[in-house]
Amino acid sequence: MKTTANAATETAAREAAIEVNDVTHVYVNTKGAYPALAGIDLRIKTGEFVSLIGPSGCGKTTILSLISGLLSPVQGEVRVMGEPVTKPTPQVGYMLQQDYLFPWRTIEDNVMLGLELLDRKNDESVRSVRQLLEEMGLGAFRHATPQQLSGGMRQRAALVRTLAAEPGILLLDEPFSALDYQTKLQLEDLIVSTLKAKGKTAVLVTHDISEAIAMSDRIIVLQPRPGRLLAEVEVPEPIRSALPLEAREKAGFHELFRSLWQMFEQMERKEEGHDDA
């Protein structure tokens, strides 16, 4: 019996790519202490695509920073692939709202940067990153500089740079918010199909409810002051198995949008003091 129980625990650990166990975080600076997160519990399975949504200041970016190892929680524990997180590792890729491409480097030199820093640049890795550039439609722009590219192309280059180090986990902090609507929809499809094909685990932070429904397997709603979990929603089939653009047409999409929208409205009312709940 004991062996079975141990095996079950080990399987559970393997399946959870990310575990956030009862995490509380407080930012401290010379002006005071700012509670950002309280008692957060999350478990994200390998290969799962999860979105974090919630009003500004509810701690979404803080959660990503804790998973990436850029921050350490004041209380509680974060694990990635079963190991406690103590510092940033190449296992976790972090893609931000701004692309942070270096203007003086070509696109190819920008996307190779991580490999150079990790001392992993060799014939094979260069070949595979060039292949990724092709897949992202940037093959012809290898020698261009970032200024010569559109916003959507720059975000695709940033994605290639993040994927170059072959992280198992991708953290995406509002990667589409600076893009026009059409580019954003195209990039959503490209990101979901690429990450699913490569079996990556992803956590997306977004303000956009329909983007969260269209892209994710599961949505986690956070409430602010301090950040806590409010709700967790599994995105139903056939929405989750469709690519984001097509997912928006599926039965159940609008109902799910409305119920998440209502949660946001209730949070707003509570913030304004019109609700005693």
Ligand X SMILES: Nc1ncnc2c1ncn2[C@@H]1O[C@H](COP(=O)(O)OP(=O)(O)OP(=O)(O)O)[C@@H](O)[C@H]1O
Which parts of this chain interact with Mg ion (CB under 5 A)? 60-61
From ligand X, Mg ion, none, interface partner of 27 (C-beta below 5 to 8 A by class): ligand X
From ligand X, Mg ion, none, interface partner of 86 (C-beta below 5 to 8 A by class): none
From ligand X, Mg ion, none, interface partner of 115 (C-beta below 5 to 8 A by class): none
Given CA atoms 201, 207, 213, 219 in this order, what sign does their dihedral have? positive
From ligand X, Mg ion, none, interface partner of 53 (C-beta below 5 to 8 A by class): none
From Mg ion, ligand X, none, interface partner of 29 (C-beta below 5 to 8 A by class): ligand X
* Shortest separation between residue 117's beta carbon and ligand X, angstroms: 25
Nearest CB to ligand X, comparing residues 3 and 29: 29
Nearest CB to Mg ion, comparing residues 61 and 68: 61
* Shortest separation between residue 189's beta carbon and ligand X, angstroms: 24
Where do contacts with ligand X occur on this chain (CB under 6 A)?
27, 29, 34, 36, 56-62, 227
Q: Which residue is nearest to Mg ion (CB)?
A: 61
Nearest CB to ligand X, comparing residues 58 and 165: 58
Q: Output the furthest CA–CA distance in the chain (Å, rounded).
A: 63
* Shortest separation between residue 154's beta carbon and Mg ion, angstroms: 20
Nearest CB to Mg ion, comparing residues 29 and 147: 29
Nearest CB to ligand X, comparing residues 7 and 33: 33
